[in-house]
Amino acid sequence: MSNLDFSGMFSEDTRNFFRSPVRDIFKRVDLNKIYSFAGGYPSADTFPLDTFGDIMQRVLEREGAAAFQYGATQGVTKLREAISKRYGVPVANVQITSSSQQGIDVCTRVLVDPGDVILAFNPTYLGALQSFRSYRADVVGVAAKSDIDDFEKEWRKTIEKCLSDGKKIKFLYAVADFQNPSGETLTLGQRKVLVKLAAEYGFIIIEDAPYRELRYEGSDIPTLYSLDPEHVAHLGSFSKIMAPGFRLGWIIANEQILDRIYVCKQALDLCPPVFDQYVAEEFLSSGALDANLKKSVELYRSKRDLMLRTLEEVMPGKVRWTHPDGGLFLFLTLPEGFDAVKFYDKALDAGVAYVAGQFFHTDGVSGKNTMRLNFSFMSHSRIVEGIKLLGKLLDEVL
């Protein structure tokens, strides 16, 4: 270890960095030795290894050296075209990112100065909060009201408050489909309110949609982007429809935003991984993606159903949880006074991991009595065993 103290050398931004408690869990324990409801990991069963191998061979033969050379900053043209076709948007509006986390980060970088307001649902995705806070944004959270008038009223009140405080609202961040961590989905009415407010008050919406294609019941609801392509930047991800190890995502947005992102990305990392982009393109265009997605949806639906059934069986009466129509998570609410952060060490000692809901709240302290449970990662039998164990532990303290 160094004898020198560099602590005075770091940028102001670093003072606002905060560590992911999820990633810190992974440093502490071996995921395979505990019941882990903590991560947002897809099931390894959804990675079609043979297909990946075949596709890699095809890309090697077809693209040759071009797959290993520097690529365009916007991403490989073929992949941008495939995404353009799949989602019905112009190629010029598609930028490939080195992970959808980078999509969140680069949007924040080009839009937000310290003190600017980012509006977010409470609770919201932890990785987004990490990025927002690292740029010293003023993240203002709003809990979604189920009544549509209350929903609009609450947002309007929050926006007016920010403006009367002299603050500049840059964007609203929303996971419209199967929100991380709550598992909840915005209704069409709620989406229309959001785009109306964005146009009225002149802010942008960052629609983060990594789970959108993992729907287990009900019908697709139009994306925020489709309701207002001018005000919405839509972030897609290959992590849940292909595999996270490729670290590939995309941004669909208007050209003014994409132009800044393009120049920013030159300095960030020049371009996304090139071979991986060709593999993603072939996976998508060959139909392998849709075939695999269909299987993933069936698998995850059965896991969700099993978890819901098991919760019903074993959880103490005072515990409530969400019923997600898709995605990877559901959200538990325990009686007032329960502290999921404090309870965490006890749970981990007993061999079960979750993420305390508090970490997903914009103020970092609300939601003490909540926890996020993932149902995609573990096998069916381990889901049952893990939920039973968690139920037993909760029963002892409630």
Residue numbers 29-58 binding a second copy by CB under 8 A: 39, 41-42, 44-45, 47, 49, 52-53, 56-57
Q: How far apart are CA 332 and CA 182, in angstroms?
A: 8
Contacts to a second copy from residues 162-201, by CB under 8 A: 170
Task: Please report whether residue 256 would count as binding a second copy according to CB under 8 A.
Answer: yes
# chain residues binding a second copy, by CB under 8 A:
85
Our CB check for a second copy shows the closer of 45 and 150 to be 45
Write out the DSSP string of 123-148: S--HHHHHHHHHTT-EEEEEPPPSSH
Select from 189-197, 209-217, 267-275, 314-322 the region that touches a second copy (CB under 8 A): 267-275
Residue 245 interacts with a second copy (CB under 8 A): yes or no: yes
In the complex, least distance from residue 31 CB atom to a second copy, rounded to whole angstroms:
10
141 or 391: CB nearest a second copy: 141
Closer residue to a second copy in complex, CB, 46/185: 46
Helical residues (DSSP H) of the chain, grouped into ranges: 12-15, 21-28, 49-63, 77-87, 100-111, 126-134, 148-164, 188-201, 224-227, 255-269, 274-285, 288-314, 340-350, 380-397
**Cα–Cα dist 265/259, whole Å:** 10
* Min dist. Cβ of residue 99 to a second copy (A): 4
Binding residues for a second copy restricted to 297-326, rule: CB under 8 A: none
Sheet with strand 320-321: strands edge to edge: 320-321, 329-333, 370-374, 355-356
Q: What are phi and psi of 216, to 5 degrees?
A: -105, -15
Closest distance to a second copy from the beta carbon of 261 (Å): 10
Amino acid at 207: E
Supply 22's token pair: 């999820």
CB of 244 to a second copy, least distance (A): 5
CA 179 vs CA 90, 112, 186, 199, 326: distances in Å: 27, 23, 8, 23, 9
Which one of the spans 100-108, 156-164, 187-195, 312-320 is the region binding a second copy (CB under 8 A)? Answer: 100-108
Pairing assessment for the beta strands 117-121 and 169-174 based on DSSP bridges: parallel
Q: Strand 355-356 relative to strand 370-374: parallel, antiparallel, unpaired?
A: antiparallel
| Residue 54 token pair | 């075949």
70 binds a second copy (CB under 8 A): yes
Q: Which stretch binds a second copy (CB under 8 A): 125-133, 211-219, 319-327, 341-349?
A: 125-133
* CB closer to a second copy out of 113 and 395: 113
The first and second tokens of residue 256, run together, are: 């003014």
Q: Which is nearer to a second copy, 95 or 130 (CB)?
A: 130
Is 158 a binding residue for a second copy by CB under 8 A? The answer is no
Q: Binding to a second copy (CB under 8 A): which residues in 200-239?
A: 203-204, 230-231, 239
The reply to whether 391 sits near a second copy by the rule CB under 8 A is: no
Q: Does 102 bind a second copy (CB under 8 A)?
A: yes
152 three-class SS: helix
Is 23 one of the binding residues for a second copy (CB under 8 A)?
A: yes
Residue 372 interacts with a second copy (CB under 8 A): yes or no: no
Could you say whether residue 357 binds a second copy (CB under 8 A)? no
**Options 25, 36, 73, 373; binder of a second copy; rule CB under 8 A:** 73
Closest CA to 206 of 170, 166, 160, 249: 170
